[in-house]
Amino acid sequence: MHGFEFLDEIVLLCFAGLAVILVFQRFRLPPIIGLITAGLLIGPSGFGLVREGAVITAISELGVVMLLFTIGLEFSLEDLKRLRKIVLLGGPLQVTLSTIVIGGGALIAASLTGQAISLNGAILIGLSMALSSTAICIKMLKDRRELGMPHGRAVMGILIFQDIAVVPMMIIVTLLTSDSTIEIADVVLRIVTLIGVTVGLVVGLRFVLPRLVPYVTRVSAPEVLILGGLALCFGAAWITSTAGISMALGAFIAGVAIAGSEEGHAIGKVMEPMRDAFTSMFFLSVGLLVQVSWTWLPVNMVTAMLVLIANGIVVMIVLASIRVNLRTAVMAGVILAQVGEFSFVLATVGVEYGVITSTDFQNMLVSIIFTMIVTPTLVTLAPVIAERITPLTRFFPRFRKWDIDDTNGAIRLGTNAEKDNDGPTVMIVGAGILGRNVATVLRETGISYRILELDRENVAAQRAVGEPVISGDVTDEHALQAAGVAHASVVIIGISDQTAITQGVQLVRKIRPDVLIIVRCRYARDSESALQRGADEVVVEEFESSIKVFTAVLSHLGVDVSMIEQQEEAMREDMKVRSERRINVAQ
């Protein structure tokens, strides 16, 4: 059909992606790996049925733009303010150190193997490999419901800076060529434009959109909501792209501008199906980019492994140096270890300006895509890796200091914790709503307590109102000892990170076999792991919600109170029996 020559390729991509994902699901492999694999199979490195073209590239780029827009809808300006230290300090440090380490490694490897690579080429490689994949990281964290967790916020902070840094990096790449004629004034102008457009977009959207969006959402026709959301998303992306800034960053800013409002939630809901479809096309297109050389394949795989290690360690060190909890830093490092889609852009510019050869370009692409392919597995293993690495903090004294300001004055924990014989009766893990409510009741009833909280800003906020809170991780024995686990009669764990919950329960039970452990879990499927590792009581949010709902319904319908209590007891007994059965099967 005239004008639709690309349609057969899109159909092939869709069917290939569907088939591979169905196979991968049987082996519990992430869909992202299936999509990239499908692209590899039908692309130039496989059967050669589809070649990456302008239309497919455009569709995939729109997918990334829509993904960042919907992510922005979930972030408020308050959330971004909490990330400012990571964005403004951690981001620059990470990009700089990764560039130096990987670029320097490229020079050393070239000299050892007799390969020719210039200093400028090494700088380009370092810059390209320092950028992580926004699409993959955000997609994985969103699917795992971890964006709001400490490591999810740390990852988001680094990614925001990386997206901002792409434009200055592209300017640097154009200056790396020996015959560059770009004037310093031009460079300064482009950087000023970058800052001006970003600030102007944030301020403009923040004041204009809250007044404009209600007019769109007031109309009952769903088409208006969809078109309004698309206009906002792609409009902001177009504004930033015309200024030479990442389209994805513009879309993210637009999402943040209406985040938290009812209109923002409505727009995000209607755009989800389109976002997922376009994002899937992005991952398929990644596989199409590769042209594997079997001669260079072993080198590419080794390069990918070294880059993963280098990036992971750099992120971990950078975040730890700005006082991010070590477990959070390790998990963020593992998740951000891969190389991302903007690296393709920098590498392409490098080829165009003659900074690297086409062979170097293809080898970079293959190595980058190898890092992408293993990322879903790394994200899954991140808690396990963090569990193995965190004990190494005993070699770093700075991670062994906890201060607390309780209502009676300053108490020094850590070095003096062992001398404190008047430890808390109750130890609370997590200063969220559950932790604060329990603390309020304990305070009113005169029962001593102490709170262990991972988020340092939350720690500072609670200390400011006189709460006995210390900064630490429930998976760290030193933190538990500092929080008074040795003296507590009850330990309440009320955090959202399921991996940290199970590890924390196991560690508390190891330290104190006799203590009562009460755990809050969001889902029934998570309760078994906590019970297996030693929890005495598990409060399941979705189960307790169901109790409240049917109790309210029966009360409204006039059912006798004794009958309601009988039904509640029967449901709790059934829940207990099913949990015990699943635990026995697991054992």
For residue range 464-486, list pLDDT tens digits in order.
Answer: 888 899 888 888 888 888 888 98
For residue range 199-223, list pLDDT tens digits in order.
Answer: 787 777 777 766 776 776 666 667 7
What count of other Cβ atoms lies within 10 Å of the Cβ of residue 242? 11
pLDDT at 326 over 90: no
Give the pLDDT band (50/70/90) at residue 491.
Answer: very high
- Does the CA dihedral 347-351-353-355 come out positive or negative? positive
Shared-domain flag, residues 380 and 412: no
Shared-domain flag, residues 476 and 370: no
Q: What is the mean pLDDT of the chain?
A: 81
- CATH number, domain with residue 281: 1.20.1530.20
From CA 80, how far away is CA 92, in angstroms rounded?
16
The answer to whether position 478 is within a domain reads yes
Decide: 284 and 63 in contact? Cβ < 8 Å: no
The answer to whether position 45 is within a domain reads no
- What is the reported pLDDT for 420? 43
The answer to whether position 175 is within a domain reads yes
The answer to whether position 377 is within a domain reads yes
Shared-domain flag, residues 208 and 326: yes
DSSP alpha helix (H) spans, 134-261: 134-143, 150-176, 184-217, 222-242, 247-257
Give the pLDDT band (50/70/90) at residue 71.
Answer: confident
The answer to whether position 21 is within a domain reads no
Which H or E run contains 27? Answer: none
Highest mean pLDDT among 78-82, 137-141, 346-350: 137-141
- What is the reported pLDDT for 309? 95
Decide: 154 and 131 in contact? Cβ < 8 Å: no
Shared-domain flag, residues 124 and 262: yes
Q: Is the pTM of this model over 0.75?
A: no
Q: Lowest mean pLDDT of 92-96, 357-361, 378-382, 493-497, name the range.
A: 357-361
- CATH number, domain with residue 457: 3.40.50.720
Contacts with 288 (C-beta within 8 Å, 6 or more apart), sequence order: 39, 42, 43, 44, 50, 51, 52, 56
Number of domains in the chain: 2
Decide: 544 and 524 in contact? Cβ < 8 Å: no
- Show the domain range for 354: 65-391
Contacts with 106 (C-beta within 8 Å, 6 or more apart), sequence order: 117, 121, 122, 125, 126
Average pLDDT of the segment spanning 268-278: 80
The answer to whether position 569 is within a domain reads yes
- Which one of 349, 370, 391 terminates a domain? 391
From CA 279, how far away is CA 265, in angstroms rounded?
20
For residue range 86-133, list pLDDT tens digits in order.
Answer: 988 999 999 999 999 999 998 898 888 777 788 888 999 999 999 998
Highest mean pLDDT among 54-58, 97-101, 242-246: 97-101
Give the pLDDT band (50/70/90) at residue 247.
Answer: confident
- Does the CA dihedral 145-150-155-159 come out positive or negative? positive
- Name the token pair of 214: 């209600």
- What is the reported pLDDT for 93? 95
Pairing assessment for the beta strands 469-471 and 537-540 based on DSSP bridges: unpaired
